[in-house]
Structure 1
Amino acid sequence: MGKLVPTEGFEDGMDPGTERRRSMVAETTIPRQPHEKNPLWKDAGNITLLIVLYLLQGVPLGLSFGAVPFLLKSKLSFADIALFSLSSYPYSLKLLWSPIVDSVFFKAIGRRKSWIVPIQAITGTCLAVLGSRIDEIMNQEHLPVTMLAVVFTALVFLCATQDIAVDGWALTLLRDENKHFASTAQTIGLNTGYFLSFTVFLALNSSEFCNKYLRSVPATEGVLQLGSYLQFWGAMFLLCDAWLVCFKKEEIDDTETIDEIKTVYETIWKVCMMPHMKKFIGVLMVAKLGFIANEAVTPLKLLDKGLHKEDLALSVLIDFPFQILFGYYAAKWSSGAQPLRPWLYAFYGRLAFAVVGMLLVWSFPSGGVTSSYFFIVITATVLNSFTSTVQFVGMGSFFTKISDPLIGGTYMTLLNTLSNLGGTWPRFFVLEAVDHYTDAHCTVTEPESSVYPICLTDTQKAHCKSLGGECIVRRDGYYIVGIASVIIGLLTLLLYVKPQIERLHRLPDRAWRLRKEKSEDDGVNGTGGRSGETEKLMGQ
């Protein structure tokens, strides 16, 4: 089955910002001699600062990608959730404005603080204001989905922009011998923020969890409401921002080169226009079609069936350490000359677990979740996580292998942005299709009307029950979309993805490099032949 996190905007459910972390590791890891001691303590304060900044980014992302869709599901249809899912797009498209963030700044403030300071202030203020009204909004009978989507899209956009600036600051904030700890700080910070806003928040927001484990006297609400949670983190954003303004000065690195915005965009365009890159982009755009329904809909469908939000959050928490373990072995398997070979094998596994997810929804116990059923859910989640991690690491290894070292950061960010976009663009249409193909109506009509109410949300089902009727599902669009997704995925794999991957594997690494403009010196230095050879390879 799919991972139990609605992973909009994430590459296969991984934490946001991973694409920049890959490029950061590729560009900044400095090999040290075996006898050299690592003066980590000299950068302890800066590493802590990076962890805090990444943690703050992870908080709104955990809400937008994880907790809020689960809270909304009881009152919204899948089509409404599809609209809200558009809020994840900024994280998949941040490459479009990352050259601007890297190039435009006020020298007196600092290249990175010019962006981080105002973004922290705006984000903190937005969270505080939203927190003062969100509980009232969430308790409305008819939720303003469009307004919520716009607000969280703005928050994700701010976090994505800050992520660009913080990633760039990490390259100059740490000493050369400690730069490889930037990716560690990002992993710790983003994951901590994400799980605080997803796993921890859903548990403390659940009345069932709090009554069972935290209270002696039962209550109808959890101990933590969304409004107070947002206000707390709004205050944390503003406090961190004040500290940055008053106490943290950004050092100016005179050796750091700043590319012109136009040059960066021209480079991105040239990379995309390489013939074999066009084919690879086609693979990235369709590679996730086979299991996108499972990843996007199955967790929400289980929630709709009666699995508690805190149980879903617990499954994610249990799955997290396994991801780390699987990542280690996946990296070993993907380190050869053909790193996408394990990726292809894992493709079959993810298609299989898409079928398993549908079986779990179909066989949901009518009397409620049992221990054995929940164990099967966790097992399926962990095993699907294994196949997902193998694909993620394998694709990352291939990106590292083919990236042009001269433009490594831009190249890696471009590839990972395209990969993330391949998992983002179908999600809206899949969620919309589930409602479109679902036929669920109440058995009685509305008073003074001959219309049979539809039964797609918990609110609509409760309304039908209040009328003395019963909701009858004549056709469940989840199974139609899920089966179609698996069939399309299998056909795409066999007829397009696998043949293209095998062709791309046969290309030498130099075929992925951008050619330098031919100059008069090329003929003098005898490089004309190599240039011709590269041009031939690029035309394959």
Structure 2
Amino acid sequence: MAGKKNLAKHDLPQFYLLVALYFLQGIPVGLAFGTIPFLLKSMAKDTSFTTLGIFSIATYPYSLKILWSPIVDSIYDSKVGRRRSWIIPIQLLSGSMLFILGWAVSNNLVFKGVDDAFHGRHTNGLHDLNILTLAWYFGLLVFLCATQDIAVDGWALTILSAQSLSYASTAQTVGINLGFFLSFTIFISLNSSDFANKYFRSQPLEHGFVSLGGYMKFAGILYILVTIYVIMFTRERPLDDVLPRLGPSAAKKYDESKYAAEYPDGDAIGTSNKASIKYTYKCFGRILKLKSVQTLVFIHLTSKLAFQCNEAATNLKLLERGFKKEDLAVTVLIDVPFEVIFGYYVAKWSSESNHHHHSPRPIVSHRNSWVRFLVGDPGILTPWLWGFLGRLAAAALGSYVLSVFPKDSQITKPFFLLVIIQHLLGSFMNTVQFVGISAFHTRVADPVVGGTYMTLLNTLSNFGGTWPRLIIMSMINYFTVYECYVPATNHAITYQGGSMERCTEGLNGKLSILRDGYYVTNGMCVLFGLILYFGFLKKKAQQLQTIPVDSWRCS
């Protein structure tokens, strides 16, 4: 296979437009997946983990976009254009919603207390927050953002020439990551008064540089400006300009793979519109009846349970203990260059593993017995298996990091380094698993419905990491035992689970945690992961990578 072609000069404006569209998409994603849970926990350390679990429902639409992607692909106004028909209204709606929500946050109508310091207000913080309302608003934003993603992925295929098509995924990676890090890591730092006072101010103030309401209004205006550009200065080429209008014999020579691209978030979309909505949904049903696919679905829906507690709660637990949010933002920021560098080598490793699968015997005959014990014979799923073990190790390390948290909350350099190592191990192994499973999906997807098939498999994989979050957060809460000493009555009351606010707010008591539900839940997750891996996953992965490709076909 030839190396990546250079981006054609005449495609540069379209490429930058794609980066801008994906950048917009990263803004609500960064807010819903990172910033809001962070703010909830850092502003009110007694925010229960069940509350955070309820808010995680807001991220579900991003994992379920396959359910309505055939509709976005098939219904449009030909005058406006197949993709612009969706991008323009969805982005105008997203921008308006961001602006209105930002205004509501600034005026204490939504997410009360979050911007108090910026407006000189002194309220009692977040205790009267309606988490369901907040989850609903952000869930709607994420839904709009996921719908925009379907349309932009499809547009990339006709907006770029065939020569530059491989850069569609580059535009997505750059754009979404920029939007995500601006809305999460950079925002968290600029929102923090500690960060502003420590590094930039001679006179300390109670607030940071950027309020949540102000940032959301700015993001809303940005959405609308980019959309005005799309309305005024872009034209969607009709599909006939891109696909050849030739006789049957010439059509056979036309290679549709030239006009299909895979994306880092696992979507694979083609320009052909042969499949009707009804056919696409019927095909979903047929694919899900295949034995091999059912095994893969089970793996996708259960395997990520093992690291859910670590990935959903370790950072929030650090905040609860007194780790500063801007320091945590720095550890996330350090991840970025490593992710970029490692990502390249992981993709290389994955393609080599794919190649090994076709060799009649393992490339290294004297493979260590312990390597064989850990991941079995080499094949396309070997990186995925290593990634699973790595994420399990990162989860176990998460419990260790919290257990050695400095008692006086004075963060030492060795401890800070330990937090960074734990972060890096988790995020790197996540990348290893993601690239590994994507390579496997690419190999087994039926080319007749390639885009649909790939997106279905990747949706199941994504959903496997989303659905357990509410359960895991509730378990952390349930297993936590704390004592509330009430000075007024000189009595101590012991509680299991429930909200800690009833002690601090309701009884004006002093709180002390007797058993942290995080350790119990994380221990159960890691133990479940070990049993699942050695009892089922390793063996099944070995079988799946040797099943003939024909067993995965729905046509």
The residue that corresponds to 1:527 in the other structure is: none
- Structure 1 residues not aligned, in runs of 5+: 1-30, 516-540
> In the alignment, is residue 413 of structure 1 matched against residue 455 of structure 2?
yes
Partner letter of residue 149 of structure 2?
D
1:442–1:455: 8 Å Cα contact kept in structure 2?
Answer: no
1:77-96 aligned at under 5 Å gives the runs: 77-96=48-67
Aligned counterparts of 2:166 and 2:97: Cα–Cα separation in 1: 33
1:259-298 aligned at under 5 Å gives the runs: 259-298=275-314
The alpha carbon displacement at 1:175 in A equals: 0.6
Aligned counterparts of 2:212 and 2:500: Cα–Cα separation in 1: 20
The alpha carbon displacement at 1:511 in A equals: 2.1
SS in 1 for 2:305: coil
Partner letter of residue 131 of structure 2?
V
Aligned counterparts of 1:406 and 1:360: Cα–Cα separation in 2: 48
The residue that corresponds to 1:23 in the other structure is: none
Aligned counterparts of 1:65 and 1:398: Cα–Cα separation in 2: 27
Identity %: 44
The alpha carbon displacement at 1:266 in A equals: 1.1
Q: Structure 1's 225 and 446: CA in aligned 2 closer, same or farther, altered over 3 A?
A: farther
Post-superposition Cα deviations, 1:22-77, rounded to whole Å, max 9, x if no partner, equal: xxxxxxxxx7799xx84621011111110111001101110000111000114321
The residue that corresponds to 2:135 in the other structure is: 149
Q: Structure 1's 322 and 284: CA in aligned 2 closer, same or farther, altered over 3 A?
A: same
Aligned counterparts of 2:286 and 2:199: Cα–Cα separation in 1: 58
1:290–1:351: 8 Å Cα contact kept in structure 2?
Answer: yes
Match of 1:54 among 13, 17, 22: 22
Aligned counterparts of 2:344 and 2:224: Cα–Cα separation in 1: 37
The alpha carbon displacement at 1:388 in A equals: 1.9
1:103–1:260: 8 Å Cα contact kept in structure 2?
Answer: yes
SS in 1 for 2:235: coil
**Does 201-210 or 289-298 show the bigger shift?**
289-298
> In the alignment, is residue 328 of structure 1 matched against residue 299 of structure 2?
no
1:141-180 aligned at under 5 Å gives the runs: 141-180=127-166
Aligned counterparts of 2:209 and 2:99: Cα–Cα separation in 1: 19
The residue that corresponds to 2:122 in the other structure is: none
The residue that corresponds to 2:535 in the other structure is: 495
Match of 2:192 among 158, 182, 206: 206
Aligned counterparts of 2:495 and 2:503: Cα–Cα separation in 1: 9
Match of 1:307 among 299, 306, 323: 323
1:437-476 aligned at under 5 Å gives the runs: 437-444=479-486, 463=505, 467=508, 469-476=509-516
Partner letter of residue 370 of structure 1?
T
Match of 2:422 among 363, 373, 380: 380
Aligned counterparts of 2:489 and 2:140: Cα–Cα separation in 1: 41
Aligned counterparts of 2:475 and 2:98: Cα–Cα separation in 1: 33
- Structure 2 residues not aligned, in runs of 5+: 114-125, 244-270, 358-378
Partner letter of residue 86 of structure 1?
I
Aligned counterparts of 2:387 and 2:68: Cα–Cα separation in 1: 33
1:62–1:198: 8 Å Cα contact kept in structure 2?
Answer: yes
Match of 1:359 among 400, 419, 425: 400
SS in 1 for 2:512: strand
The alpha carbon displacement at 1:275 in A equals: 1.1
1:90-239 aligned at under 5 Å gives the runs: 90-135=61-106, 136=108, 137-139=111-113, 140-239=126-225
The residue that corresponds to 2:360 in the other structure is: none
TM-score by length of structure 1 reads 0.85
1:403–1:411: 8 Å Cα contact kept in structure 2?
Answer: yes
The residue that corresponds to 2:332 in the other structure is: 316
SS in 2 for 1:307: coil
> In the alignment, is residue 485 of structure 1 matched against residue 500 of structure 2?
no
Post-superposition Cα deviations, 1:492-532, rounded to whole Å, max 9, x if no partner, equal: 111111121111122122222224xxxxxxxxxxxxxxxxx
> In the alignment, is residue 72 of structure 1 matched against residue 40 of structure 2?
yes
1:505-520 aligned at under 5 Å gives the runs: 505-515=545-555
Q: Structure 1's 436 and 38: CA in aligned 2 closer, same or farther, altered over 3 A?
A: closer
SS in 2 for 1:291: helix
The alpha carbon displacement at 1:328 in A equals: 1.9
2:479–2:497: 8 Å Cα contact kept in structure 1?
Answer: no
2:481–2:494: 8 Å Cα contact kept in structure 1?
Answer: no
The alpha carbon displacement at 1:141 in A equals: 3.3
**Does 368-377 or 148-157 show the bigger shift?**
368-377
The residue that corresponds to 2:469 in the other structure is: 427
SS in 2 for 1:443: strand
The alpha carbon displacement at 1:222 in A equals: 0.5
Partner letter of residue 476 of structure 2?
V
Count the aligned residue pairs.
Answer: 481
**Does 308-317 or 77-86 show the bigger shift?**
308-317
Match of 2:272 among 257, 267, 270: 257
Partner letter of residue 71 of structure 1?
L
Match of 1:395 among 417, 437, 440: 437
Partner letter of residue 451 of structure 2?
G
The alpha carbon displacement at 1:247 in A equals: 2.0
Partner letter of residue 72 of structure 2?
V
C-alpha RMSD of the superposition: 2.2
Aligned counterparts of 1:361 and 1:395: Cα–Cα separation in 2: 31
Post-superposition Cα deviations, 1:291-319, rounded to whole Å, max 9, x if no partner, equal: 11111111111111111111111111101
Q: Structure 1's 218 and 422: CA in aligned 2 closer, same or farther, altered over 3 A?
A: same
Partner letter of residue 437 of structure 1?
F
TM-score by length of structure 2 reads 0.83
2:478–2:498: 8 Å Cα contact kept in structure 1?
Answer: no
Post-superposition Cα deviations, 1:173-227, rounded to whole Å, max 9, x if no partner, equal: 0111011111111111100000000011000000000001121210011110000
Q: Which has the higher contact order (CA 8 A, sep 6+)?
A: 1
Match of 1:248 among 222, 234, 244: 234
1:446–1:452: 8 Å Cα contact kept in structure 2?
Answer: no
1:455–1:471: 8 Å Cα contact kept in structure 2?
Answer: no
Aligned counterparts of 2:285 and 2:466: Cα–Cα separation in 1: 21
Aligned counterparts of 1:344 and 1:415: Cα–Cα separation in 2: 18
1:28-39 aligned at under 5 Å gives the runs: 38=6
